[in-house]
Amino acid sequence: MQGAMAAPSVAPVTRQISGRAAPAPVPDPSGPESWQSLAAAVADLPVLDASGRRVLFGALFRERRAVVVFVRHFLCYICKEYVEDLAKIPKSFLQEANVTLIVIGQSSYHHIEPFCKLTGYSHEIYVDPEREIYKTLGMKRGEEIASSGQSPHIKSNILSGSIRSLWRAVTGPLFDFQGDPAQQGGTLILGPGNNIHFIHCDRNRLDHKPINSVLQLVGVQHVNFTSRPSVIHV
């Protein structure tokens, strides 16, 4: 699903910067009421932090805007490399724009800490093990055959990336897929309160939004992702 901005009456963050086709309204029917209803529906659903503590999803964007990135699963090499670049966003850039950055996965909470160590990610991260928020937002399960272009965030090819993912699966302390492998992710801008300003549901594993295009929507400085952090590749 292509990214979409909220209707003008909802006071969108700014215009969308994207090389893809013009955005289509989501959800359908579009309009301020439907966007607010969707935000209210997911706000009351729980997520888990790294210690297993339940937090209402709405509490994460109640007081200020949040960029929320839903990933496929923690073993996905594409998600890993995308989150490695999210990790490069300086906290000072987010603080200047009064924006929170959040990653949501769909594994057991036990996988959060190892995934953060692997990617160098130190911003907020939670999991939705039952995929209730994914489902409520209408995020796709299964892959749509569509051209998503070359991602600036993915460096591995499918063979090397898949081998690394498999190796992490069989050598990890808990042998599982760390989430439903058919689930796709997406990106939202929410808050403060039950307001959705932008939503993009990935059509396939490569259909994520370029990070700087999302940061620009919330007034966060451009980040140079060409020099990558030192992370452990296994």
* 70-108 confidence digits (pLDDT tens): 998 787 778 898 999 999 999 999 999 999 999 999 988
Residue 230 class from Cβ within 10 Å (0-12 exposed, 13-18 middle, 19+ buried)? Answer: exposed
Q: For 40-143+150-216, which CATH class? A: alpha beta
Q: Which pLDDT score, from 0 to 100, does residue 180 have? A: 81
**Whole-number mean pLDDT of the chain?**
79
Render pLDDT for 204-226 as a digit per residue (tens, 0 to 9): 877 788 999 999 999 999 999 88
**Radius of gyration, alpha carbons of the chain:** 17
Residue 6 binned pLDDT confidence (cut-offs 50, 70, 90): low
Q: Which pLDDT score, from 0 to 100, does residue 51 have? A: 97
* 186 compared with 35, residue with greater pLDDT: 186
Q: Which pLDDT score, from 0 to 100, does residue 73 have? A: 76
Q: Which pLDDT score, from 0 to 100, does residue 144 have? A: 72
Q: How many angstroms from the chain centroid is the CA of residue 123? A: 12
What would the two tokens of residue 176 be? 């599982």
Is pLDDT at 227 greater than 70 in this prediction?
Answer: no
**How far, in Å, CA of 160 to CA of 157, rounded?**
6
Residue 191, CA distances (Å) to 47, 90, 108, 195 in order: 17, 21, 26, 5
Render pLDDT for 155-164 as a digit per residue (tens, 0 to 9): 754 544 445 5
Q: Which pLDDT score, from 0 to 100, does residue 153 have? A: 60
Residue 194 DSSP label: S
Q: Which pLDDT score, from 0 to 100, does residue 168 have? A: 56
Is pLDDT at 49 greater than 70 in this prediction?
Answer: yes
Q: Which pLDDT score, from 0 to 100, does residue 166 have? A: 53
**How far, in Å, CA of 14 to CA of 232, rounded?**
37
Length reported for the chain: 234
Mean pLDDT calculated for residue range 5-21: 44
Q: Which pLDDT score, from 0 to 100, does residue 207 have? A: 78
Render pLDDT for 109-151 as a digit per residue (tens, 0 to 9): 998 999 999 999 999 999 999 999 999 999 988 877 765 566 7
Query: Residues 45, 132: contact at Cβ < 8 Å?
Result: yes
